[in-house]
Each structure stands twice: as C-alpha cells, then as structure tokens.
Amino acid sequence: MYDIKALYEAGSVEEAICLLQEHPQAQIIAGGSDVLVQIREGKRAGVELVSIYGIDALRGVCYDEEGAIRIGSLTSFSHIAADPIIREKIPVLGEAVSLVGGPQIRNIVRSAETPVMA
C-alpha cells in the first residue's frame, strides 16, 4: 500500500502555511497522483503530506488588480480551455491545454460544483 506518515488537508492558503510551519518536513501535493506512484515505489516512504487540493481560492481564471490574467494553480486544463477570458484573450492557450494528456487528466477537479471564476 502507501507508506505515508501523515496527510494534512488545508482548506485555505493560511491553513496550508500553518501546517507547513508545524510540519517543516512535509511536502505539498495538489492532486497527488505522481506523488502516490513515487510513494508506492518506495521513493518517498514515510513522507508527511500537506494537500492543497481543497483550496478553492487557487482555482479559476480571472483578471487581477492590474488587469493581468490570473490562472489559479489548481485550475483544471478543461476549465482553462473553456474559460471565456482564455477563449477571448489567449485562444491558443485553450487549444494547447485541450491537447494535454487524456480526458481524465484534463478534467481533474475537486468536485463538479467547483465553479470557474470569471
């Protein structure tokens, strides 16, 4: 199975920072698929993990205060490809991300209710 010492799940950026301060050896994971393969292979045995997957503030596409386009680090490729901002301003990016991996990889999201920020 998986040799994981501990898994902590952060619900906010602030909580993730606190968890990392409390557990300085912990590694950050988002989805964790690559990390879980490495743990199963014994490459990261006994690791502590901090999951940021539940931080909805890290999802979506929007304009920041300066008018630059911001793509959250947890935004799925499918959401990027379908987002109206991307379609209007950077259509080549939407086309490119629609070619990454298979549908399972492009659609990794927390839940069906997670909205795309616009």
pLDDT one-digit tens code per residue, 47-91: 899 999 999 999 999 999 999 999 999 998 899 999 999 999 999
Instruction: Give the predicted TM-score (pTM) of the model.
Output: 0.74
CA-CA distances (angstroms) from residue 112 to 34, 55, 60, 75?
A: 22, 15, 14, 13
pLDDT at 112 over 60: no
pLDDT tens per residue across span 18-38? 999 999 999 898 877 777 778
What is the reported pLDDT for 100?
81
What kind of architecture, by CATH, is found in domain 4-51? 2-Layer Sandwich (3.30)
Name which residue leads in pLDDT, 40 or 21.
21
- pLDDT, mean of residues 8-18: 96
Ordered by start, the domain boundaries in the chain are: 4-51, 59-106
pLDDT at 104 over 70: no
Confidence of residue 4 (pLDDT cuts 50, 70, 90): confident
What is the reported pLDDT for 1?
63
- CB count within 10 Å of CB 74 equals 21
